[in-house]
Amino acid sequence: MRPARRVLLALAGLTGAAGVALAAAGAHMGGDNLATASVFLLVHAAAAAGLAAGALTPRGGTLAAGALLLGAALFAGDLAARAFLGARLFPMAAPAGGLILIAGWLGIAFAGAFGRAQRESASARDPISIQVNKE
């Protein structure tokens, strides 16, 4: 797996963990902002993990996964900051995050419609596979 995909996969895992933590905090503290932030983080972490794992070509998957993670961090970070700190992350953080999320999803749609799927040989996907000569 390429280094950029490893980083994105690690960030997707951290984003998912943050989503679970915010869900727990929301359950104990209450607040719609924490519940919304949690859902956004969990959904986009799963999508980014799938993209980073190789569903699309390296460039398309990396760009889309990066956009989903950045957008989710901005959107959910702003909602969490409001809930925990009583202040915004920075002006227009949530709307900017939302627009980046939309761009990420449109990138996935574009790559699905016009891109090429990543193809690997069976031996590249499964290092334990046995090659059989048919002679």
In a domain, 128, yes or no: no
Could you give the percent of the chain with pLDDT greater than 90? 27
Distance CA 101, CA 74 (A): 10
What pTM was computed for the model?
A: 0.68
In a domain, 127, yes or no: no
What value does the mean pLDDT take over residues 1-10?
77
| Residue 68 structural domain | 3-114
Total tally of structural domains belonging to the chain: 1
C-alpha atoms less than 13 angstroms from C-alpha of 69 in its C-beta half-sphere: 26
Q: Residue 81 has what pLDDT? A: 94
In a domain, 132, yes or no: no
